[in-house]
Structure 1
Amino acid sequence: MTTKLPDNLQLIRWPAAHVLAFTTNRLPAKKPIVSSTHFPLIKNVDGIETFQSQFDYFNLGDHVGDSPNTVIRNRNSLIVHLPALTKIQWLKQVHGNDVVIVDEHKDSPITADAVITRNQHIALAIMTADCLPILLSNENGDEVAAIHAGWRPLAANIISNTLTKMNTENKHIYAWLGPCISQTHFEVGSEVKSAFCSISSELSCFFIVNSANKFQADLAGLASYFLKKAGVVCITHDQACTFAESAKYYSYRRENRTGRMASVICLKP
């Protein structure tokens, strides 16, 4: 495991001992020379310099149309930042509410939107490009989980389903909420608000009506509500907006055809 992370990885300062977590962005491992023809930069509609390719330099999604060899190389480059003999368990995320417990690493992606492990040699990865990544561990650092929290999984109780399958009391769980699309940029229809308000009328406060008579939804706010209601006390949130920060993050809402970041968590000796 390396001691210094490259530009495309951000270490998460995890409060529990024996837990390692980091999240990626769309940047190359090293900042390119702007004048290089191999790393062309363009200005987007906001006048911000961004990369020309819709996948750029560090796409981890194998389902978005990028070169399979490039994705494999990018995924393999993460291994050096993990404890020895640790393998990453990837998921096929389907915006559902299934949670799997992984005792042994599987080479093929597992179809689920949340995953739990207590195996020191398995790292869990959640891919996102606007949806909210949630990483969990217990205080003892012997159990970790990762959740793909788009609005559909959240409305289908993905957080509750995950916590129920963990061995730890909820009050002893740490939660980290990663970069996602902010409320300012996440416009949804009335059906999305209705899906949450049918769970509890208290959730209406996470939706702001806009001039188009649609709603701006607060994904991180909704997730925090469900975590707190379940008794999770220690919650931290990386408040970066994937939509607004186009030079750093992939955003499906902004670009449609685009790459994926990953949030990774594992146990360590």
Structure 2
Amino acid sequence: MGVAVAGRSGLAAHPAAPGPRGVYRVSTRAHDWLIPDWPAPVRVKACITTRSGGVSQAPYDSLNLGAHVEDDPVAVSKNRQRLVSQLGCQPAWLSQVHGIGVVRAEPARVVEADASWTTTPTVACTVMTADCLPVLFCDRAGSRVAAAHAGWRGLAAGVLEVTLDALDCAPEQVLVWLGPAIGPHSFEVGAEVREVFVGAHANAVGAFVPSANAGRFLADIYQLARIRLAARGVTAVHGGGLDTYSDPRFFSYRRAPRTGRFASLIWLAD
């Protein structure tokens, strides 16, 4: 394995030590991003941006890629252009609504959905988050990829399952990587959230621990995702363990409601 650097044709591997929690850091003068460390086919490329490398001003500093927040639209456009120039792919942006809509990735237009898939080289399935869970998918043959935005509502409603349906692969042929999300020591929820997940999968009870506040729980969104994927026969699940709330590299809505969005992208090399 190696650290990946951006280039016109995608990501190329160069010897380097992996960073913690299943990712490699990609640091240049322009940015400090992450590359998943997982056994995906060579043709499958992926990248997770951080706050660094953009032109947005506080509180959206600096690489805010979310066009729906109150940032300067010109700055967001410049940030997105920088992303394309660094990665050499075509991001297919979504208008995310915390639902379970899944569409074929189309760079030419912004579609309302929370997941996308593609078999087209250089088209990047792209989701934006700031505490919600980004989930990247590929098949072992390296012929199709997908990405899903999974907040707790979308996760409970089945966004991962509908993404698997759209990917149209046998469960044993699917690889999954869980990107940076709010961690289990930071994600406090009410009893009603716990009931939704436990009602669907009894073993989800282990993903909730009583918090210091009466009637509330700390939830492990990574474990909840793994449970739902396993219920569909998908067990080759990698990543997880980062905490957007406590890690200043990432935007976090719970830490600061006026904030930007970072992106998780996956695509097929040409």
TM-score between the two structures when normalised by the length of structure 2? 0.85
**Secondary structure at 2:194 match in 1:** helix
User: CA shift at 1:11, angstroms?
Assistant: 2.1
One-letter identity of the residue aligned with 1:91: L
| Cα offsets for 1:88-128 (capped at 9, x unmatched) | 100011000111123xx343311111111111131111100
C-alpha contact (below 8 Å) 2:36/2:239 kept by paired residues: no
1:65 to 2:70 alignment: yes
Q: Which residue of 2 aligns with 1:53?
A: 58
Q: Which residue of 2 aligns with 1:45?
A: none
1:97 to 2:88 alignment: no
User: CA shift at 1:27, angstroms?
Assistant: 1.9
Which consecutive unaligned segments of at least 5 residues does structure 2 have? 1-5, 13-25
Of 33, 37, 41, the residue aligned with 1:13 is 37
**Secondary structure at 2:263 match in 1:** strand
**Secondary structure at 1:265 match in 2:** strand
C-alpha separation between the residues in 2 aligned to 1:27 and 1:79? 15
Q: Which residue of 2 aligns with 1:254?
A: 255
> Would you tell me which structure has more strand in proportion to its own residues?
2
User: CA shift at 1:5, angstroms?
Assistant: 5.6
C-alpha contact (below 8 Å) 1:95/1:150 kept by paired residues: yes
1:75 to 2:80 alignment: yes
User: CA shift at 1:9, angstroms?
Assistant: 1.9
Q: Which residue of 1 aligns with 2:160?
A: 159
One-letter identity of the residue aligned with 2:225: A
Q: Which residue of 2 aligns with 1:197?
A: 198
| Cα offsets for 1:6-39 (capped at 9, x unmatched) | 333222235212111000111236xxxxxxxx99
C-alpha contact (below 8 Å) 2:32/2:50 kept by paired residues: yes
One-letter identity of the residue aligned with 1:267: L
**Secondary structure at 1:134 match in 2:** strand
TM-score between the two structures when normalised by the length of structure 1? 0.85
Which consecutive unaligned segments of at least 5 residues does structure 1 have? 30-37, 40-51
**Secondary structure at 1:94 match in 2:** coil
C-alpha separation between the residues in 1 aligned to 2:73 and 2:44? 30
**Secondary structure at 2:176 match in 1:** strand
1:244 to 2:246 alignment: yes
Q: Which has the higher contact order (CA 8 A, sep 6+)?
A: 1
Q: Equivalent pairs: percent with the same residue?
A: 36
| Cα offsets for 1:58-98 (capped at 9, x unmatched) | 11111110110111111111112334xx4210001100011
C-alpha contact (below 8 Å) 1:5/1:11 kept by paired residues: no
C-alpha contact (below 8 Å) 2:186/2:245 kept by paired residues: yes
C-alpha separation between the residues in 2 aligned to 1:251 and 1:26? 10
Number of residue-to-residue matches in the alignment:
244
The structure that has the greater radius of gyration is 1
Q: Which residue of 1 aligns with 2:91?
A: 88
One-letter identity of the residue aligned with 1:16: P
User: CA shift at 1:259, angstroms?
Assistant: 0.5
C-alpha contact (below 8 Å) 2:134/2:179 kept by paired residues: yes
| Cα offsets for 1:148-193 (capped at 9, x unmatched) | 0110011001111111121211111110001111111111111111
C-alpha separation between the residues in 1 aligned to 2:227 and 2:78? 38
C-alpha separation between the residues in 2 aligned to 1:59 and 1:88? 15
C-alpha separation between the residues in 2 aligned to 1:136 and 1:218? 20
C-alpha contact (below 8 Å) 2:101/2:114 kept by paired residues: yes
C-alpha separation between the residues in 1 aligned to 2:146 and 2:127? 10
**Secondary structure at 1:254 match in 2:** coil
